[in-house]
Amino acid sequence: MDNVDIQYSEVDIRNFLKEVKDPEIPPISIVDLGIVTKISITESNDVHVTLTPTFAGCPALKIMEDLVKERLNKVDGIGSVSVNTSFETTWTTDMISEEGREALLKHGLAPPKQNVGYMELDVLSDTPCPYCSSRNTMLKSPFGPTLCRSLHYCNNCKQAFEGFKPV
């Protein structure tokens, strides 16, 4: 098939990137996570993608850059692909899409509360349980198995669970 005439749009690129998953939370794509902050495409379909880190110490950053390149390099007609990471847009958990929040919940990870801004930290104390939806839960620790997760306990269904920390 001859793709010479195809001009890819930002939406096309975004759709391809929906297939790139967060290595630490595989059910959510990097697009739904909200870390793809800029996509530029030249007339000859050279693509540049800018990512913003969730956490400064996130070890998956470099891997995600590589996964973006790998995915786009597979697309017919796309020229060169470059990716950079920039703090120009400060990522917050409010940038996770609705679809992303549902994916987290399905994964057993309580989605972060929204619009907490400069939150008081008791915002973590009644995080809804991803298993039974009860708000009768308590924060066990603001630090979990990855930088973006906290540890909670549900007093209703007696189940320990993890939450995605609001930042």
Partner 1 sequence: MDFFNDKHVEAAKDLIYKMADDQLIIGHRNSEWTGLGPILEEDIAFSSMAQDKLGQSEHLYNLLHELGEADADTVAFTRNENQFHSCHLVELPIGEYDFSLIRHFLFDMAEAIRFEMLVDSSYENLAQLARKFKGEIKYHTMHANTWLQQLATGNEESKARMQNALNEAWPLALGIFEPGAAEDVLKEVNIFEGEAALEAKWLQEVTALLDKAGLSIPDGVSPVYGGRKGQHTAHLQPLLDEMTEVYSIDPTADW
Residues in contact with partner 1 by CB under 8 A are 53, 55-59, 87-88, 90-92, 119, 121, 140-145, 147, 151, 165, 167
Q: Rounded distance, CA 6 to CA 77, Å?
A: 7
45 or 150: CB nearest partner 1: 150
Looking at the DSSP bridge assignments, the partners of residue 149 are 164
Task: Report in angstroms how near the CB of residue 38 gets to partner 1 at its nearest.
Answer: 14
Smallest gap from residue 96 Cβ to partner 1 (A): 14
**CB 155 → partner 1: shortest distance, Å?**
18
Residue 59 or 108: which CB sits closer to partner 1?
A: 59
CB of 1 to partner 1, least distance (A): 39
The candidate with the shortest Cα–Cα distance to 92, out of 65, 112, 110, 107, is: 112
Which of 53, 77 has the CB closer to partner 1?
A: 53
**Rounded CA separation 106/58 (Å):** 23
Nearer Cβ to partner 1, position 73 or 160? 160
Cα–Cα nearest to 127, from 145, 117, 140: 140
Q: Residue 152 — left, alpha, or beta (φ > 0 → left; ψ -120 to 50 → alpha)?
A: beta
Residue 40 CB, nearest distance to partner 1 (Å)? 20
Which CB, 83 or 151, lies closer to partner 1? 151
